[in-house]
Amino acid sequence: MKYALLSDIHSNLHAFEACLDHAQKHGVDRIAVLGDLVGYGAFPTEVVTRCQEIAHSGGIVLRGNHEELIQSHSLNSVLASQSLGGQTAEWTHEQLSPAQRFWLEILPLTAQDDALLFVHASADAPERWRYVEDERIAALSLDAACANPDVHYVFGGHVHHQSLYYRGTGRQLMAFKPTAGVPIPTPKHRRWIATVGSVGQPRDGNPRAMYAVFDSAAAKLTFHRVAYDHMAAARSIRQAGLPEFFAQRLETGR
């Protein structure tokens, strides 16, 4: 079974479509969207509609922190923070239909398929949206997930960069920075936790979209960087009247 692992799409339809096309060409069987479908970008309705199609055809779609930010009960506190994110959350709230907002609100926080556990942030307390950003937190998340002995792989997003954590010959987790496009052997007798990066808002200075493909039969994980029309995505953000900062972020990948 080949899984496409996509996270942090952030209403970037251009990047999302490019990654889905790329995944289809690589013969992916199942799509997993690991949260943060919306926020920042110009196409919340289209991205949510596409995710609903994915869910209806057997894919996995999880809830991220941005799906909570755009709900009515969160908006007041988000707006009070007077952040740029608050402005896009309010705009996104207005764009989505009540039915779509409800659909986002009841999405699950985690999902399991065979030896794979999917979660937006950290598996030890998914609702706390903790960033899996170093070996220590990765170990907390992995150990919590592996309380279920069936689980050997934990896939998440939230941090907007691609990382793989594993145990070498010692007890501590080791961080590994993957090279895009290289299938990495991840045999099942070990336990692995990966952050798959952000489809719709890369922040490492490279504007290309990030996602990953996991092939469970071959036990190989490939991190991908996909070129897409990021200038068009940035233009759409300006046309929608959203903050200039988010347009520039897509142009520079920072």
Partner 1 sequence: MTRLQAGSEIDGFSIGPCLHAGGMAHIYEVTYADQRPAPFPMVMKVPRMRAGDGAENIVGFEVEHQLLQVLHGRHVPRFVAAGDLASLPYLVMEHVPGQTLQHVLDQHTEAHTRPSADEIAKLGAAIARAAHSLHQQNTCHLDIKPANVLLHPDGHAVLLDFGLSCHAHYPDLLAEELRKAVGSPPWIAPEQVVGVRGDPRSDVFAIGVMLYELATGELPFGNPTTDGGMRQRLWMDPAPPRRLRPELPEWLQEVVLRCLASEAAQRYPSAAHLAFDLENTDQIQITARGQQVMGTPFFTHVKRWLKAAGMHYQPSPLPSQQIEEVPIVMVAVPHQDVSDATLYSLRQAVARSLGIRPGARLAVVTVISPNQTSASESDKSETSVHRQYLTMLRQWAQPLDLDGHQTSYHVLEASDVATALVRYAEGNQVSMIVMGAATRGLHMQRFVATVPIKVAMEAPCSVILVKSTLPFEQLSEPAQLTDR
DSSP track, 144-161: HHTTSTT--EEEE-SSSS
Choose between 1 and 182: whose C-beta lies nearer to partner 1.
182
Q: Are 205 and 3 in contact (CB under 8 A)?
A: no
Residue from 253, 254, 252, 247 nearest 11 by CA: 247
The CA distances from residue 79 to 74, 93, 162, in Å, are 9, 12, 30
Query: Quick one: 108 or 168, whose CB is closer to partner 1?
Result: 168
Stretch touching partner 1 by CB under 8 A, among 21-29, 77-85, 144-152, 177-185? 177-185
Q: Does 168 bind partner 1 (CB under 8 A)?
A: yes
**Residues 29, 162: Cα–Cα separation, whole Å:** 22
Among 24, 81, 83, 179, binds partner 1 (CB under 8 A): 179
58 versus 170: smaller Cβ distance to partner 1: 170
Nearer to partner 1, 40 or 165 (CB): 165
158 close to 65: Cβ distance less than 8 angstroms: yes
Are the C-beta atoms of residues 175 and 134 closer than 8 Å to each other? yes
Among residues 58, 98, 149, 170, the one that binds partner 1 under rule CB under 8 A: 170
The piece of 87-95, 154-162, 184-192, 201-209 that touches partner 1 (CB under 8 A) is 184-192
Q: Which of 97, 148, 172, 239 binds partner 1 (CB under 8 A)?
A: 172
By the rule CB under 8 A, 154 interacts with partner 1: no
Rg of the chain, C-alpha, whole Å: 17
Query: Which residues are near partner 1 by CB under 8 A?
Result: 164, 166, 168-172, 174, 176, 178-179, 182, 184-185, 187-189
